[in-house]
Structure 1
């Protein structure tokens, strides 16, 4: 294997925990829409997937979401509901900080730019650790596991696929990264990840 120069982390499911039910409950309470209507509008309709793939800009996405829920959904309301769904994974973040002492680290997340543009509010620990090196799938016009998502991010970082290690909790996304020429590991928990990172020489034992 080529020497690793960049470690690329997924965010939700790795660096943080994602609670869809909390997001639905928050948005339902704020809009008065039934939870099942909120869930359908975000995921069942395919709206979120289109935004994550860069097919809709943030304003178009929020207008469409509001149209489905029968009310206006502004950025502040959306961000508050999104924040309710996120809890940092402190153990995984600590590992990422240790890796940063050896090589570059970055984030590639299946999300629209509303998330990455407001990460200081949504997920402060990730924002502090990774700084400007946080990328949404929308920026590359496709969601993981599409090859163009990984390759677009790697190119933006000025790295080579074979010298980039990608870490994700989704086996499909890990397979997509491998197919795109990256090195990759499936995230199960922080202890298993620590073992992998130590074996690769990216952290001390």
Structure 2
């Protein structure tokens, strides 16, 4: 592994713990619908994937959710419910910040997370000036187009080449794609293994 100049991290199950069941519980409590219906209509149906891919703005998502499940709340409430699946992993954040390297987010999250990141999670957001959300890239990991867009922007912003990037993701398909493009990669399992990978790469 070479010397990393930029750390690029995933959000769900890396920088944030991810509990979709908790989100379904809150949505069920708010709407009165069963978890199974909510999961089917909002997530298993492919709707969430379309949101991630940038097919809808945040307000269009709110309107679509209202149509699908009768949600009558505002956009801020919907974002809070949607992002309730995510809890910041302070241990991971501290280890990333301690490197002193520029930090970037590369996530398949949609507008309900991306548009509210600064407001909902200021403790993490302040460290990530470079943000690459699928909904803004109009492409999801592991698509080459998403990786290429990140490469172009980090080259322009930091003069960083693919080999300068240490990419952390819990999905092996995503890290395999990064490795194939010349990125340094680590498939996340736990904070201690992450710290060892950072030490090896920096």
* TM-score strictly above 0.5: yes
Aligned residues: 198
| 1:122-180 Cα distance to aligned partner (Å, 9 max, x none) | 323221222x3222111111111111112212212223222211100111111121223
Please name the residue that 2:39 is paired with: 39
Gaps of 5+ in 1: none
Quote the residue 2:145 is aligned against: 148
8 Å contact kept, 2:109–2:134: yes
CA-CA distance at 1:33 after TM superposition: 2.0
Structure 2 stretches of 5 or more lacking a match?
A: none
- Residues 155-166 of structure 1 aligned to structure 2 (within 5 Å): 155-157=152-154, 158=156, 159-166=160-167
User: CA offsets per residue over residues 60-117 of structure 1, 9 Å max, x none?
Assistant: 2222222111343531221221342221111111111012x1x311111111123122
- With normalisation by structure 1, the TM-score equals 0.89
RMSD: 1.7
Give me the TM-score of the superposition, normalised by structure 2: 0.90
Moved more, 103-112 or 154-163: 154-163
Label 1:111 to 1:139 Cα distance change in 2 as closer, same or farther (>3 A).
same
**CA distance, structure 1, for counterparts of residue 23 and residue 119 of structure 2:** 15
Is 1:196–2:197 an aligned residue pair?
yes
